Each structure stands twice: as C-alpha cells, then as structure tokens.
Amino acid sequence: MEIYSYAKEKGFVITIFTNGLLFTKKIMEYLAKSPPLSIG
C-alpha cells in the first residue's frame, strides 16, 4: 500500500485490475478511504 499511497499523493490516476481474491478487510477499508478511479 506504500506505492499506492505515494502515487495518490503525487496525483497519479490509479486503476486496479484484480479478481479481488487477495483483498483483505484491511485493504478494502484502505481503498474505501482513498479510492482508485476504478477497480476492474
């Protein structure tokens, strides 16, 4: 999540491509607070 946070701080537009299998509750809560443009 460090790279994600850094990219968001620098203004990058973030899209996540995943099937969600490895998303934990912690990751989901983090993404809810700082959402990407899209998750596919």
**Cα(10)–Cα(21) distance, integer angstroms:** 28
pLDDT at 24 exceeding the cut of 90: yes
Task: Give 19: exposed, middle or buried? Use CB within 10 Å, 0-12, 13-18, 19+.
Answer: exposed
Indicate the burial class of 30 (C-beta count within 10 angstroms; 0-12, 13-18, 19 or more): middle
Per-residue pLDDT for 1 more than 90? no
- Residue 28, domain extent: 2-39
**Over the stretch 26-40, which tens digit does the pLDDT of each residue have?**
999 999 999 999 998
- Mean pLDDT, residues 12-32 taken together: 94
What pLDDT does 14 receive?
96
Q: Is the pLDDT of residue 22 over 90?
A: yes
Domain count, the chain: 1
